[in-house]
Chains A and B, each alone.
Chain A
Amino acid sequence: MNVSHFPERRGFAGHFLVQVGRALLILWGAFTLTFILLQMMPGDAVMIRFMDPELGLSPEQIETMRVLYSGSSNPVFQYFHTLWQVLHGNFGYSVQLGVPVGKLLSTALPVTLRLAGVGFLLSLVWTLAIAVGASLLPLRALRQAVHALPGLWSAIPLYWSGILIIQVLSFRLHLLPVVGVGAWEGVLLPGLAVSLPVAAPQAKLLLQQIEETERLPFVMASRTRGASRVSVFFRHILPNSVIPSLTMAGLSLGELIAGAIVTETVFGLNGLGQMTRDAVSGQDVAVLQAVVLIGAAGFVGANLAVDLLIPLIDPTLRMSHRIGGGKSGS
């Protein structure tokens, strides 16, 4: 006889729909907020670009440009127009470059996603390695050294560790060239640089949780059955400790997608970070709107994934959707 892990399927499906709905609501909120903020910004990208005296445009021509780019000056109409367009995947035109934002994204986004992906995976590897090292290495001094790593990593600024990594791995050891390489090789070094500060808080949380879990009676109970320290660590301690760091990892992944400016600058990558920097300096509203939306989507998506993953690890959360509980007497 096999009991399904989701005894009330509707319960889980409902949970899923609520989570997805909440994610969509947050995205809509992010869109609306940025729209309002960008509208309130003093100045105007059209002005900045076309009021340049060297272009020699008349005020009437500039006004025409403005209507052309903004559609209408009525903000309410503009809001719904932009929302409608965005829902159809149309992010408008970059005022600065005169090309569709979608086109800019299609070159910048893959770079950033690759960087985020590599950085994120490496950070997970680091986190796990630190947890294993700090718990299972033979010498107490070694364990403590590993235990101190996350604190060190979060203290090192990214631009410095980035330059250090280039110096050591590329210039000294010639392991990987920095320029003129394929799409994936190109993000390996920056991914490594960005993975350290991302791994630090995750690892710290995991170590803390492991310390708490180690004290729980079921860990000792498993040892009394003859399980070795290593076996108890992987079978009982680790699975019962990962949830807080998983939540943290969800936040980091969002951050990686939204804010890779420093890394991209240090390693000369043309990703979302560069795009954001150019758009901010040029008040390129359509580009900013798209970047914020993608950043928000990154956060929301990562957290949604984590929220849906956690019940798979912790059965007590899985069952909480059942009404009335299923305890039976002895």
Chain B
Amino acid sequence: MTSPAPVLDVNDLAIFYGDRIAVNGISFTALPGKTTALIGESGSGKSTIAKAVIRLLPPSARIDRGSITLNGQSLLAASSRTLNTIRGRQIGFIPQDPGSSLDPCIPIGRQVGEILRLHTSEGRQERRDHALTLLEKVGLPDPGRCFSQFPHELSGGMKQRVLIAIAVALAPGLIIADEPTSALDVTVQRQILDLLDRLREENGCSVLMITHDLAIARDRAHDVVVMQHGVVAERGLSDSLFSAPHSPYTRRLLRDSPAFHPRIPPARKVAPAQVPALEVSNLTITHRTHGGRTSPTVRNVSFTVQRGTTHGIIGESGSGKTTILRCLMGLIAPISGSVRIHGADAFGGRPGDRGPFRSMQLVYQNPWSSLDPRLTVRRIIEEPLRNHFDENRSWRLQRIHTLLERVHLKPDILERYPSDISGGQCQRVALARALAAEPDILVLDEFVSALDVTVQARILELLTELQNDLGLTFVFVSHDLAVVRQISDTLSIIRHGQQEEYGRAESIFSHPASDYTRTLLQAIPGKSASDCL
């Protein structure tokens, strides 16, 4: 059996940014009707390849050698005029972030129409009809309404559908999907990937999928190219690559990926007589809307977190999990219900009393933006020490070194700025800063969501270690079920501000009681992935 001619043939491609080599001799092909996944961590060069194929690398990038051939035509030799006829017509591109990939000033219909205006001779009315057909094809519930809406009126999933409609409009032979679902909720992610699969089968086109998510690659791709530091670490058919990885790097990725290698925390024994670290009962929080009316965003949420355990709060965007978190930190007061921290009613005192919240610290999601870029690491960690303890400078330095050791950072990082250190290091610094105030309870908001899997795995290990050593209590807020599963003892699943489910993590994962939880669990990519290791 001879394999069909590849749609895309990349051969020995090398790309430099200045003097730094980003892609070093990459070769792969993408076959018609198949999905080829380029996987790797940030900085592996996978996005650079996607941009090189569509010939839209930033001016600082330089293609040093190699070839990119699309249906027998060299893309590197093509003129910019030719490229403009190839882009959109022969290559469809689905961008990474649906939120900002549509022009906010132009109604959806006209943005879909743009690609038709560029490449076809269709008149205004034809374009309109064509655009409506496309919007319908990608499963938008009300194409007519959507046509005249603006991007900010659509949800993230709907925007990604619009972007897919644009990418497939002219049935191109190759579709490049650059992290098409990394900004989306897990249930939406599944729908979008299903849609993409369906369109690929209908059009018989080739899909080049760029992703950091191994589980997605395993579920959706036929061929997989694993990249590390600009070179191919391993290449092969999806089935064989995931079941019997050859390269040590692939094996490490699989080991660190929570979807492939769920580490279930051992059931901890907690002395029942103890006062729980955190007791939330019937929490209801309202939100003032623009017109001055109030509407409840969180209704009747209750959970108890024993000392030294981790409670996971899972919810998709807009579910109210951040509102709960803000309330736990005392930033907003509930309309009814109570929060008890170590048995004391946190909102019992006069309004604005921070006293009960002293034992809690919040650690934010984004590694870079939560650290002041103008301060060195030393000053970042020193700040809470200044605020909480009336001690001299040498004591503070001593403490800083102890804290650094706690989070496994070397002292040479102290005089560096957040922009000079990696995402994982930033999160360690953020942890050290939170620990400086000597809290009992850490509230972690999407703490590892922005990190690569191998870094994520190390940070999760660090959290477990800190919990065991210091007896810390964690509230772990995340949209990522696979991660939450790894470290949570108990779980709350929040949807539309209501608690869909609450209980021991393992029992929820093995016997979900609500339909929503079942949908969530089914939507996790690579759900059967763990079977293969």
Contact = CB atoms under 8 A, between A and B. Distances in A.
A71 to B, nearest CB: 47
Nearest to A225: B88
B103 A236 contact: yes
B95 A226 contact: no
Interface string A70-108: 000000000000000000000000000000000000000
B115 A315 contact: no
How extensive is the interface on chain B, given as a class? 35 or more
B84 A319 contact: no
B166 A225 contact: yes
A325 B97 CA distance: 21
Nearest to A240: B105
Contacts of A218: 100-104
B95 A221 contact: yes
B148 A1 contact: yes
A217 B87 contact: no
Contact of B150 (A319, A323, A324): A319
Interface in A230-252: 231, 235-236, 239-240
Interface string B148-184: 1110111111100101001000000000100000000
A278 to B, nearest CB: 48
A329 interface: yes
B84 A217 contact: no
A220 B163 CA distance: 13
Contacts of B237: none
B114 interface: yes
Given A218-B100, A323-B290, A314 B145 contact: no
Interface string A294-330: 0000000000000000000111100110111111111
A327 B153 contact: yes
B193 to A, nearest CB: 13
B153 A326 contact: yes
A213 to B, nearest CB: 10
Contacts of B106: 235-236, 239
- Output the residue of B105, B114, B157 with the most chain A CB within 10 A: B105
A329 B23 CA distance: 39
Contact of B103 (A222, A231, A322, A328): A222
Contacts of A315: 104-105, 107, 150, 152
Contacts of B91: 224
B188 A224 contact: no
Q: Max chain A CB contacts within 10 Å: which of B86, B87, B107?
A: B87
A240 B106 CA distance: 10
Given A224-B56, A226-B86, A314-B104, A2 B153 contact: no
Interface string B63-90: 0000000000000000000011111110
Contact of B118 (A220, A227, A239): A227
Given A224-B54, A225-B87, A330-B191, A240 B153 contact: no
A87 to B, nearest CB: 35
B155 A330 contact: yes
Contacts of B86: 226
Given A226-B86, A315-B104, A327 B166 contact: no
A316 B148 contact: no
Nearest to B83: A226
B387 interface: no
B510 interface: no
A226 B153 contact: no
B368 interface: no
Nearest to B105: A239
A228 B86 CA distance: 12
9 contacts: A3-B149, A221-B95, A226-B86, A226-B88, A236-B103, A319-B152, A322-B290, A323-B291, A328-B141
Nearest 7 A/B pairs, CB to CB: A330-B157, A224-B93, A226-B88, A225-B88, A226-B87, A315-B150, A323-B291
Interface of A: 1-3, 216-218, 220-228, 231, 235-236, 239-240, 313-316, 319-320, 322-330
Given A225-B114, A235-B103, A328-B154, 7 more contacts: A218-B100, A218-B104, A225-B93, A314-B105, A319-B152, A319-B153, A322-B290
